[in-house]
Chain A
Amino acid sequence: MKKVGKALYIGLIFLFLYLPIFTLIVMSFNNNERTSGIWYGFTLRWFGEIFENHDMLEALINTLVIAIVSAVIATVVGVAASVGIMAYSRRQRALVLQLTNIPLVNAEIVTAVSLMMAFAMFGISLGMGTILFSHICFCLPYVILNVLPKLRQTGTSTYEAARDLGAGPVKAFFSVVLPDIMPGVATGFLMSFTMSVDDFVITYFTRGAGINTLSTLIYSQQKRGIRASMCALSTVIFLIVLVVLLIRYFLGNRTADKTVKQ
């Protein structure tokens, strides 16, 4: 009896977390232009309309381009910065890490309006450039906080050994240090990409008129009801991510089993 109660509790929490997702998936098959709580019959036509809704496709492309560009730049700048920070004195390092923490601790809306006002102060007009700059800024801490611990773990001995054996600093970094810190670099990149795709608040305040990402487009539709093709698109994205994660999860488990057996 006690066991049933426990399973029920875990089940209810996960039902709570997944209920809106089921709702959105059902809505993408509902034969009604905009989302509503009423069932109008089954249709697949919203999946076809994904390719005809140009505003939405443009927002999708913007979202992906912003996420890829800002994650790549944040990763390159962040890894370089981490190598530089390793050479700092203790006090310099503490100061830089405190500044790195500010965007993580601060409220998103304050980060967003402060960037917006800084752009206004210097007469920089809002557009794709300001969105990208802002996204790079809020992604950087995730790269640094993932890479720096790995660099500390790796230490300097392998790098120095490579240098002693005649490798230049660049070659020594790319062939000795980088492979060691790769897990941290990859996590930093993926977190940056995810944060950027999911971002709404920062984009909302730093975008120019007429530029939409999926988040800002959804927000602009929320009063009148979301278009069903938007639900269809999210269902497709969700299912793609689900399949990728499941494959990775089971492959990860299999390799883990193998190493255990070895």
Chain B
Amino acid sequence: MSKKNKWLSAPYLGFILCGTVIPLLAILYFALVDKNGSFTLSNLASVAEPVHLKALGLSLLLAFATTVICLLLAFPLGLLLRKSGGKKGFVIFLLILPMWMNFLLRTIAWKILLQKTGVINTILGALGLKSLDIINTPTAVVLGMVYDFLPFMILPIYNVMIKIDNSLIEAAYDLGASQARVIKDVLLPLSMPGIISGITMTFVPSMTTFAISEILGGGNISLIGNIIEGEFLRGGSRNVGSGLSMVMMVFILISMALLNKFDKNGEGTVV
């Protein structure tokens, strides 16, 4: 296809300009001015306010916990599913199917399950066990996040793992490696690209959610997403909201940069 076709991308460039570039410049602008339109750094500095700092810290902590738990659940699952062999289409089908029920509804279902008089506690009570009292606590929020984002950790890890050549693993066993050694030195490094994209796909959304914390935290738990949502939609200051959004974006960019560095190290050990 010839150079003459370049103009075909013009509408898309329009969408990039109006839908990505200008909007990002818009929040940058609003982050740097006060409500009268004069320059200020106070919106960016407002992240240091105790309430905001606490929310940012809690968001980082819960997102980190969520990512670690998802990884610890997904990696062994990938190993087991890889061994069980075949039926790749069916495993992916089972993983994607739940996403066809609205994610807010599925999160609300956990609220029903975890309530003091909810299903899980009724069963525990019938068995004479202590009731599980985690609704409206950070634990419930982490559970909801793990639930919502676990498929995004499993899918990339599983996709990479089933492509690993079996002969590599057999070679490792033939050379006398134990099962633990094969996992640590063969399967783990070769799954690294999947693990990295899984971490990205769970960390960023759990760091920035406001719906899950609102539903399972019962309004008691304020993550950075809840603060930003409040500033924009519940009578806060849009300038402060823009400032916090910029700070959060920087945090995400730094985390991604660190992760990519780690990825390079991971690939380095493969070579």
Contact B89 A109 (CB under 8 A): no
Stretch at the interface among B44-52, B182-190, B208-216, B263-271: B208-216
Contact A106 B106 (CB under 8 A): no
Residues of B within 8 A of A133 (CB): 18-19
Q: Does A65 contact B (CB under 8 A)?
A: no
Chain B's interface size range is: 35 or more
Contact A96 B77 (CB under 8 A): no
A24-B109, A114-B26 known; A107+B12 contact, CB < 8 A? no
* Bound form: Cα–Cα A157–B87 in Å: 37
Q: Does B207 contact A (CB under 8 A)?
A: yes
Contact A13 B26 (CB under 8 A): no
Instruction: For A102, give its contact among B20, B83, B122 (CB under 8 Å).
Output: B20
Instruction: Annotate B122-162 by CB proximity to A: 1 below 8 A, 0 otherwise.
Output: 10000000000000000000000001001100000000000
Contact A117 B27 (CB under 8 A): yes
Q: Does A27 contact B (CB under 8 A)?
A: yes
Contact A17 B3 (CB under 8 A): no
Q: From residue 1 to 47 of chain B, which have CB atoms closer than 8 A to chain A?
A: 1-13, 15-16, 18-24, 26-27, 29-30
Contact B9 A96 (CB under 8 A): yes
Q: Does A185 contact B (CB under 8 A)?
A: no
Instruction: For B15, give its contact among A20, A36, A140, A230 (CB under 8 Å).
Output: A140
Instruction: For A107, give its contact among B7, B97, B215, B252 (CB under 8 Å).
Output: B252
Residues of B within 8 A of A86 (CB): 1, 5
- Closest A residue to B90 by CB, please name it: A249
Contact B101 A99 (CB under 8 A): no
Q: Does B177 contact A (CB under 8 A)?
A: no
Q: Does A78 contact B (CB under 8 A)?
A: yes
Chain A's interface size range is: 35 or more
* Bound form: Cα–Cα A245–B20 in Å: 34
Contact B99 A198 (CB under 8 A): yes
Residues of A within 8 A of B57 (CB): none
- Closest B residue to A134 by CB, please name it: B19
Q: Does A19 contact B (CB under 8 A)?
A: yes
- Closest A residue to B112 by CB, please name it: A37
Residues of B within 8 A of A81 (CB): 8-9, 11-13
* Bound form: Cα–Cα A159–B11 in Å: 23
Across the A-B interface, the 3 shortest Cβ-Cβ residue pairs: A84-B9, A81-B12, A137-B19
Interface of A toward B, CB cutoff 8 Å: 6, 9-10, 13-14, 16-21, 23-24, 27, 35-38, 77-78, 80-88, 96, 99-100, 102-103, 105-111, 113-118, 120-121, 133-134, 136-137, 140, 144, 156, 159, 177, 194, 198, 200-201, 204-205, 214-215, 218-219, 222, 226, 230-231, 234, 237-238, 241-242, 245, 249, 252-253
- Knowing that A37-B115, A81-B8, A113-B242 touch, tell me 16 more A-B residue pairs with CB under 8 angstroms: A20-B109, A24-B106, A24-B109, A77-B11, A80-B8, A87-B3, A87-B6, A96-B13, A103-B19, A107-B248, A121-B26, A198-B99, A204-B233, A234-B102, A245-B93, A249-B90
Q: Give 19 CB contacts A-B under 8 Å.
A: A9-B76, A10-B84, A13-B77, A17-B94, A23-B112, A37-B117, A38-B117, A78-B12, A82-B9, A83-B8, A87-B6, A105-B200, A108-B208, A110-B245, A118-B26, A156-B1, A198-B99, A198-B103, A234-B102
